[in-house]
Chains A and B, each alone.
Chain A
Amino acid sequence: MAGLMSRFTTLFKVKANKVLDKAEDPGETLDYSYQKQLEMLQKVKRGVADVVTAKKRLQLQTAKLEESVVKLDGQAKQALAAGSEDLARTALERKALIQGQLQGLDTQISQLETQQQNLLDQERRLSAKVETFRTQKEVVKAQYSAAEATVRIGEATTGLGEEMSDVGMALQRAQDKTEQMQARASAVNELVDTGALDDLTAPAGSDLDRQIAQLTAGNQVDAELAKMKAELAGGAPPAQIGAGEEGSAPAAAPADQEAKQ
């Protein structure tokens, strides 16, 4: 029974041979191969740069979403303090949604991290092999006719072809993965931008912002009125103003969070 190993060996050799398609003139073969190797090395470097860029984008997005979480949390508390449980619930629901997105992003970032490291390792190996090839190529070119040189460096050429094919497949995989992640990231961005996820975090003017602002303002008016009434009635010296306001609010918060789950 043919195992996985023989299957992959066959498949891989087919790919490696495609990479190794050579120029007609044996005299040019070695230089041509070397040229291809350098090109591949450049591609790998660009591939690494692309992965790094994609990772940075995801990290920026993470930071943005984390800000949203903090802000929504604050808004929920404010809403609750103002006695608007519905509003607090909405804020907490959106917060949960964003936290879900954040978890996905964390996984993706760590996957990109691994991929970046892999590509760097492969770049290092390929680079060392290309240098070996260059040295051997110069030696055999100096000592043998072009046709002979090609034969003598045959193992080195196939060895490198194999390496390049492997790196090529890895690059393709990295590219596919980054594209997927970018597509997902921009889908999340779109949600955020169109407000489906968090128009709550827009700097100003969102519905929730306005409602909370109104409630808070109303609250302040009430508090001021109450204070004024107390002053008028008792003539007591006006002291710590904010104390009463804060004292009444937090008690309701945990209850709402539980109700939500």
Chain B
Amino acid sequence: MIVRILEQGQFRLGEDQHGRLNELDNAVAAAVAASDEGAFRSSLKALLDFVRDKGERVADAELVTSDHVLPHDEITLAEAREAFAGEGAIPG
């Protein structure tokens, strides 16, 4: 599974990491829903750190499409919320 972190490149993770990735991702989503800035920052960091730690960098010259895309570390809560609002047709 290939995960891209915007502005930081792509990482290759084993399929067995998918469950944990989803958990971490849901924590971020919950923080956005609650508009909890502190929780948002820490959960986003945990998610991105997980990808950076467990993932292996895709070589510069390799051309692959990502299965998942994650925002960079500096995204604001407002920007994240906008991403949700942008296509809010699918309520949880």
Contact = CB atoms under 8 A, between A and B. Distances in A.
A170 interface: yes
B61 A5 contact: no
B61 A159 contact: no
A166 B72 CA distance: 11
B26 interface: yes
A152 B4 CA distance: 23
Given A128-B61, A132-B63, A170-B6, A3 B28 contact: yes
Given A155-B65, A170-B6, A5 B60 contact: no
A9 B86 CA distance: 13
B29 A11 contact: no
A4 B65 contact: no
B86 A8 contact: no
Contacts of B34: none
A3 B26 contact: yes
Nearest to B29: A3
Interface residues of A, number: 34
A232 B37 CA distance: 77
Given A132-B63, A156-B63, A162-B65, A10 B92 contact: no
Contact of B70 (A4, A13, A121, A160): A4
Contact of B87 (A11, A128, A155): A11
Nearest to B32: A4
B78 interface: no
Interface hub of A5, A124, A136 (most chain B Cβ within 10 A): A5
Given A12-B69, A159-B64, A4 B28 contact: yes
B6 A129 contact: no
Given A118-B7, A162-B4, A3 B65 contact: no
A4 B64 contact: no
A133 B67 CA distance: 20
Contacts of A28: none
B83 A160 contact: no
Contacts of B29: 1-4
Interface string A111-150: 0000000100110110011011100100000000000000
Nearest to A166: B6
Contacts of A122: 7, 9
Contact of B6 (A6, A12, A132): A12
A37 to B, nearest CB: 11
Contacts of A8: 6, 68-71, 83
9 contacts: A4-B70, A4-B80, A8-B83, A9-B66, A11-B87, A118-B8, A155-B63, A155-B64, A156-B63
